[in-house]
Structure 1
Amino acid sequence: MLNENVSLEHNTMIKKTKAAILYETNSELVIENLDLAAPGPKEVFVQMGAAGVCHSDVHVISGQAQQLMPCVLGHEGAGRVTSIGDEVSRVSIGDHVILSWLPYCENCYQCIRGKTHLCKAFQMPVGNGTLLDGSCRFSNTQGPVRQLGSLGCWSENVVVSEECCVPINRSIPFEIAALLGCAVTTGVGAVLNRAKVQKGETVVVIGAGGVGLSVVMAAKLQGASQIICIDKNSGMRNLAIELGATDFLVASQDADISKKLIELTDVGADHVFEAVGKRELQSAAINYCCSGGTVTFVGLDSEDATINLETTAITRSEKTISGSIYGSACTHRDFASYGEKFLKGELPIDLMVNRRYQLNEINIAINDMLEGKPGRGVIVFDH
């Protein structure tokens, strides 16, 4: 349940900051100057370098995902630390950081066993769009303004809790680092951490958005023998192939996808990744999987989404169905690891970034994504 009570604390003003704000669902974002308060003792002031444009933000705009408003959107970003609170120990001024919408406590049952991505300690403030102490740093003349995922990356500057900051190699461009903050880690981690794809295995990827293409990159990195990407948009083909797909099927044209997959693989895929978040595609993913294979749900549908399972068939075929949130990642380990793989040329994330926008073009960026333009768009901040 969302908490509508919010306070504005540490209100020593540092500067005005331009941000993209959502005031109501199914409306365009509004660009305006907000007041940004100084960081508290355990908080960090970040000058944003780049921020991704992700479908999860659109889910908030459409109302599919609940969010109290007004709210600065953007949950996929990176920047430079310019100020820190007195008790901050994880980052220093001048550090380049990726912002994480899934901070963890290090002390709970899940954290202790190494599954920091399942930590629920900060679920309430992150969901409410506040900092981890329940307060806001953005405000306007009408009062506090929330920040999506405790971040609010579609702003020139942000103040975030230090648990949300992950230092990275300064050689990684901000537009690459931004995508590591969500889409790339979600897709790559699903392959490496959750499904653990092995060399020579066959992989099917449903969806050629940022997450699906990241699955493709990681499957190639792991040495998959076949990587079959499926999307309804034929315009995604060239980029999917460039990133490592061996085959591309157009869902709207290849009516019998199951038959096509049998022709390509003989028995179905060892691994199927559903990277869209639609129940009908999740059901299809199970059918695309071979006996003894694994289906990994990566995309998120609505909270009440359900599918029907033929449980006897699943038992007899020994199929495994699993989910993966945020790439099953430990962000302080995996952001750095995937960044290094980019620098080594093992994850060609730069091929995905083919549209760049200024913050005042945010509504254009969103429309371009909804129109199905291939690749990823990023907001680039010039300071």
Structure 2
Amino acid sequence: MKIGVPMEIKRNENRVAITPAGVMMLSQAGHDVYIESGAGVGSNISDEDYKKAGAVIVHTAEEIWAQELIVKVKEPQPQEFQFFRKDQMIFTYLHLAAEPEVAEALIENQTIGIAYETIQKENDTLPLLTPMSEIAGRMSVQAGLRFLEKIHGGKGVLASGVPGVEPANVVIIGGGIVGTNAAKMAIGLGANVTILDINIERLRELEDLFPGKIRTIASNEFNIAQEVEKADLLIGAVLIPGAKAPKLVTEEMVKTMEDGSVVVDVAVDQGGSIETIDRITTHEEPVYVKHGVNHYAVANIPGAVSTTATYALTNVTAPYVLKLANQGLQELIKKDKVFARGMNTYRGKIVHEAVAEGLDKRYTELSSFFGDG
């Protein structure tokens, strides 16, 4: 199979979709890997590194997008839609429920969209999203506390406090991968940490994981409102695979927060779970102020630590790329139900139910194209 890896052109996106180790693995299996020149620079990977691993370096986006399988990090940008074609496969983070323009372009061109974030195991874990969720969770605390500093427009609160002075109150809504990793960072820095989740069993697990170090509270509108009011740093860590994030924190709740408090919504690329997150920001200008509260709404948080993020991402994506290249799409879909859940668009149809619901479009069963499996 001929595989193209373009340079990411989304603003401040420095990750790349494959490492030299991934190139070597694919090349040794008989596949041709084409890398756009400079694609790895933001992750400290040179063209020469890729060449040594067996890649072909090309110098235009057109040459990359001419390949049958495109492997990316982030959703295609509007200037890349011109390269879409029928039956071409794009394997990346798509987040289509929050990206209707990308969805329309894939449907119109009958391009096959395979999303990292909806590949889901039987136990509901998301293996290709997990490492980025781990990074985003940890970074949400790191970034949020920076904007809690007075010099960055915050209320001037130290995470740990000092003897005789209370630590910062960090409130995390959602106890999944993002929330757990946010808690690890906040606990390590000495903050008071509260986690809310609708799954009481998950709260029990978190109390066992962090004994005596966190407060766990059942997530409902009343409890959320109470905890938001007390938060110095509020982190939205809610995810429904493929779907838009539910709006759990209302504008009225945010208004109760003290001036200089900080909101970080990790689910902003899925529409966000905090009502006052009404725009996406960038690493260059990550924060805006609303009702006196700093809002951090960067959609590609792991892009700030691109080297770590690239290697963490490709550790989990490269084996799926290899399986796809070795077996072909139809065979892999029939044999691997986990991978099949990654299918978002096929032959001009939405073939993932949550994505279709998020876009308010008709859902088509994948099995109608491939049969059972």
- TM-score of the pair, normalised by structure 1: 0.43
Structure with the bigger percentage of strand: 1
Instruction: Please report the TM-score for the alignment, with normalisation by the length of structure 2.
Output: 0.44
> Which has the larger helix fraction?
2
